[in-house]
Amino acid sequence: MAADPFELFDRWLGEARASEPNDPEAMALVTADRDGRPSVRMVLLKGHSAAGFTFYTNLDSRKAGEITANPQVALLFHWKSLRRQVRVEGVAGPVSDPDADAYFASRGRDSQLGAWASDQSRPLESRDLFEQRLEAVRGRFDGAPVPRPPRWSGFIVVPQSIEFWSDRPHRLHERRLFTLAAGQWSEGLLYP
């Protein structure tokens, strides 16, 4: 047994980075609207610490709207090459403006431009329209740094529980569940 789920997560993520063929930082993000209707999509983990798990998005996106309405979310990391997964349940809140600015500045220029050109999750008449918008944004910022759009930021998921699942033969899996209560993590096991 371990006392710190973040230490175990760091170790597992390091192993995934060495063995996963694509995007070891990919995680499924589950949100729900005010009526409890769930929605899931893949996003990329862009930071993690004992404070939580961070990702970035357009604040006008469906996921951001659902988080604003209902901040209870779940994350799932699935590392097929290791036959492991990590489930996180917690509350999502906004990252600070300086953190969002710093991460946006670290992105590739085309990703920065795309953030300006895209009305993420909104209906799009044609791919040509998006390409035209991208070219217009490219011209607007030609030869200049691309600032973070006002509608683009991030969320940090503060975990309330973290489950570490390891595959075992005959579906006799190992499941370690860390739960947070009164500021302290405790660990227990779950039946497979």
* CATH number of 52's domain: 2.30.110.10
Residue 121's pLDDT is 84
* % of the chain residues with pLDDT over 90: 93
Rounded to whole angstroms, the Cα distance separating 191 from 183 reads 25
Has residue 70 got a pLDDT over 90?
yes
Contact 46, 55 (CB under 8 A): yes
Rounded to whole angstroms, the Cα distance separating 89 from 151 reads 26
Within-domain flag for 127? no
Domain enclosing residue 66, as ranges: 5-104+154-190
* % of the chain residues with pLDDT over 70: 98
- Could you give the angle at which helices 109-117 and 127-140 cross, rounded to 10 degrees? 120
Residues 153-182 have pLDDT tens digits of 999 999 999 999 999 989 999 999 999 999
Residue 120's pLDDT is 87
Residue 85's pLDDT is 98
Averaged pLDDT, 55-69 = 96
Within-domain flag for 119? no
Has residue 150 got a pLDDT over 90?
yes
Count CB atoms within 10 A of the CB of residue 137: 19
Which one is catalytic: 34, 37, 140, 171? 171
pLDDT band at 111 (very low <50, low <70, confident <90, very high): very high
Within-domain flag for 134? no
Within-domain flag for 139? no
User: How many structural domains compose the chain?
Assistant: 1
Contact 88, 126 (CB under 8 A): no
Within-domain flag for 128? no
Based on the residue annotation, tell me whether 109 is a catalytic residue of this protein: no
Within-domain flag for 73? yes
Residue 159: closest CA among 96, 88, 109, 103: 88
pLDDT band at 2 (very low <50, low <70, confident <90, very high): low
- What stretch of H or E contains 53? strand 52-58
Within-domain flag for 132? no
Residue 103: closest CA among 91, 92, 115, 93: 115
Decide the pairing of beta strands 47-49 and 38-44: unpaired
User: Residue 54, CB half-sphere, CA atoms under 13 Å: how many?
Assistant: 14
- The average confidence (pLDDT) of the chain is 95
Within-domain flag for 161? yes
